[in-house]
C-alpha cells in the first residue's frame, strides 16, 4: 500500500483543504514505512491542529475522543456527541463545583481546564451521566469517594479553615 512519489508524475498533489496543487514536499507522510501522503498540505494541517487546541469545538472533539477510548477500555457505553459536550460546558465557564473560571490548560497547569466527568462511575458517558467540571474537581472526585470527602470536611472544619 501507499503511493510512491512516482504516483505523482509532475511531483505535485492537490491539498484537500486549500485546493492548491503543491509540491510533494508540502505534504507529510502518514506512515513510517509507506509513501502515503497526507491529504492536506502541512500549512492546512497546522491550522487544523491550532483550531483543535484553541477552539471549544476542538476541545470538545478531543475530550470526546479521549472519553471514547476510556469507555472502550472499561467496556462502558459512550453515546454522547460533540454537540452534547459543548452544551454541557457552562456558558459562564465557571466550574459548577468550585466556582472558579475554567480555562484551557497550558502544558504546566491543567487544573482549571474543563473536563468531562462520568457522574456515576461505570454507567458510562451517556446523556444525563456526564458533567463538565474543572480538572481539579474531577481529580478530587476520582480519587475520593463522596463519603470520604465528607469525612475530610468534617475533620478540618474543627480548625475553622
Q: Which residue, 41 or 132, has its beta carbon nearer to Zn ion?
A: 41
Residue 103 CA to residue 27 CA, distance in Å, equals 33
- Residue whose cell numbers read 478530587: 140
In the complex, minimum distance from the CB of residue 42 to Zn ion, in angstroms, rounded to a whole number: 8
**Minimum separation from the CB atom of position 30 to Zn ion (A):** 16
Contact 137, 95 (CB under 8 A): yes
Q: What is the DSSP letter of 142?
A: H
- Rounded to whole angstroms, how far apart are CA atoms 116 and 59? 11
Query: At closest approach, how far in Å is the CB of 47 from Zn ion?
Result: 8
Tell me, residue by residue from 3 to 32, as one string, x for binding to Zn ion by CB under 5 A and - for no binding. Answer: ------------x-xx--------------
Does the protein bind Zn ion through residue 44 (CB under 5 A)?
yes
Total of residues contacting Zn ion (CB under 5 A): 5
Classified as helix, coil or strand, 112 is coil
Give contact residues for Zn ion (rule: CB under 5 A).
15, 17-18, 41, 44
Amino acid at each position: 500500500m501507499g503511493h510512491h512519489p512516482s504516483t505523482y508524475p509532475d511531483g505535485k498533489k492537490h491539498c484537500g483543504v486549500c485546493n492548491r496543487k503543491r509540491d510533494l514536499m508540502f505534504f507529510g507522510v502518514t506512515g513510517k514505512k509507506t509513501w502515503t501522503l497526507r491529504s492536506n498540505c502541512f500549512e492546512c494541517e497546522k491550522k487544523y491542529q491550532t483550531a483543535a487546541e484553541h477552539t471549544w469545538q476542538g476541545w470538545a472533539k478531543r475530550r470526546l475522543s479521549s472519553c471514547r477510548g476510556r469507555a472502550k477500555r472499561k467496556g462502558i457505553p459512550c453515546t454522547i456527541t460533540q454537540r452534547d459536550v459543548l452544551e454541557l460546558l457552562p456558558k459562564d465557564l465557571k466550574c459548577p463545583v468550585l466556582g472558579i473560571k475554567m480555562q484551557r490548560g497550558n502544558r504546566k497547569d491543567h487544573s482549571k481546564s474543563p473536563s468531562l466527568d462520568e457522574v456515576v462511575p461505570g454507567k458510562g458517558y451517556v446523556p444525563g451521566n456526564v458533567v463538565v467540571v474543572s480538572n481539579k474537581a474531577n481529580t478530587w472526585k476520582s480519587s475520593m469517594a463522596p463519603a470520604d470527602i465528607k469525612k475530610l470536611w468534617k475533620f478540618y472544619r474543627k480548625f475553622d479553615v
